[in-house]
Chains A and B, each alone.
Chain A
């Protein structure tokens, strides 16, 4: 039996989150949605919402601060997994029609560009050397871009105008608000333009401007800053299995797989993204023909050396 692809898994987890929230709402379980999920003291409050309202109202709510600290710890341990496994916008972008196919193929040819870059030399040996060399290098740990500027703008506007401005247009909040307003339309007959407005904003943000997640989202920016501290569950290539390092072959599958964050896992110097943005989506490991990519709990660098030294030591003693 072929196991489920990471993509299907992600669809399942996001759908499950949305369903749980909706069922919670219908059964009045008091669970809430992703803006504030949970009961009483164990409520996860949106970290961006926390920062915004703290700046806007100039008060610090201890309970909200505790939730923020817990979220920081969770992000340090698990990284930016929220973006791939929980955030409903990922699902919306997948189910709604894409604006144009052109953009998508452009991404792939961009990845192919890295590939060409890696192997510019026609000489086969040179090319292989070049590839092997390109495998080394280190991944950038953090990349600042427009999202972080928008994050700054989010905090600044909240402080200036005294209310959480970004919350008005946050696609996460609006996704749940849309479902809620549709539900209320049926249960309470509340007809309002809001039913059209929310989806319109969502479509504008997520479909017309497809780069929302990587170019604008201040929530993603906030999480990505924190996940700079994340060391666990980072994707790691087993060089003994990878076609490039183990068999001197050309392979760019994982280089092209990371189509949201543009991380080039195999050839770090060609990477368009940085490791803190890895959302642990597992697309790269899914694409690898030799199953070389794993997400170990601890960074593998230390481990790699360990098994080599003791065995050698051991064998010499035995002789």
Chain B
């Protein structure tokens, strides 16, 4: 007689292997230190976000500014396919232009991985913070560049007494416009050694770390 039961020895072994594989995958993903990423508005509480994000990639499909991209495996396996911001492609205006200031990414997220408190404003939704690498910044090198300062929608960029570009940390919400418009890497304004634009948006904790470790302020 052939066994008609669902559970043959083999089936049971496959089941156990499957369960262990999932527990292993979950545990391993949690153990590995993941790189912090900039998230679309409403994804700032990383624990809540990663717990609810299905990786359906709907937010990036709807973003009118096309600034959301799927994180790649280089950002860690746990982060893969989750939405992150790429300010080389655009900047986040909180959907002011296209959706009357109601973030579309938050609207479409099926599991509320992106969610905003009722009193949320663009100003208090901190995607990240702008950070300037002084050696790469044309303004810092006396070449007179003021583009990011002129474009920042939140007046978060200013100049100090030596007319060098400074970010007003508390005023910046990481909208990314400065990074989007920064010309430091464009042809003709190439700065030796630069691997990225002079001003970039990074997750708040990374900027805090960089600022704390700056030698001469």
A interface list, Cβ under 8 A from B: 24-25, 28, 30-33, 35-36, 40, 43, 45-46, 49-50, 53, 56-59, 61, 63-64, 67, 113, 117, 140, 143-150, 152-154, 156-158, 160-169, 173, 176-177, 180-181, 184, 188, 190, 192-194, 197, 211, 215-216, 269, 271-272, 274
Contact = CB atoms under 8 A, between A and B. Distances in A.
Interface stretch (B72-80, B116-124, B143-151): B72-80
Given A57-B51, A180-B70, A190-B72, A64 B111 contact: yes
Contacts of B29: 161, 163, 165, 168
Contacts of B47: 162
Nearest to A29: B61
Given A35-B110, A158-B26, A216-B14, 14 more contacts: A32-B58, A36-B110, A43-B110, A45-B111, A53-B51, A53-B113, A140-B4, A146-B14, A161-B26, A168-B77, A168-B78, A180-B57, A181-B72, A216-B18
Interface in B40-99: 47-48, 50-58, 61-62, 69-70, 72-74, 77-78, 80-81, 89
Interface residues of B, number: 49
A53 B49 CA distance: 10
A59 B6 contact: no
B26 A163 contact: yes
A164 B54 contact: yes
B194 interface: no
A15 B74 CA distance: 31
B81 A177 contact: yes
B28 to A, nearest CB: 10
B30 interface: yes
Interface string B144-174: 0000000000000000000000000000000
B190 interface: no
Given A144-B6, A146-B11, A167 B51 contact: no
A167 B47 CA distance: 16
Nearest to A149: B15
28 contacts: A32-B56, A33-B58, A35-B57, A36-B56, A36-B58, A53-B52, A57-B48, A59-B52, A61-B112, A146-B15, A149-B18, A149-B19, A154-B22, A161-B29, A162-B47, A168-B55, A168-B77, A168-B80, A176-B57, A180-B70, A181-B70, A184-B70, A188-B89, A190-B69, A192-B73, A197-B80, A215-B14, A271-B4
A61 B50 CA distance: 15
Contacts of A49: 54, 56, 111
A184 B68 CA distance: 12
Given A53-B52, A162-B51, A163-B78, A193 B58 contact: no
B7 interface: yes
B72 A160 contact: no
Contacts of A215: 11, 14
A165 B26 contact: yes
A160 B74 contact: no
A265 B148 CA distance: 71
A61 B109 CA distance: 11
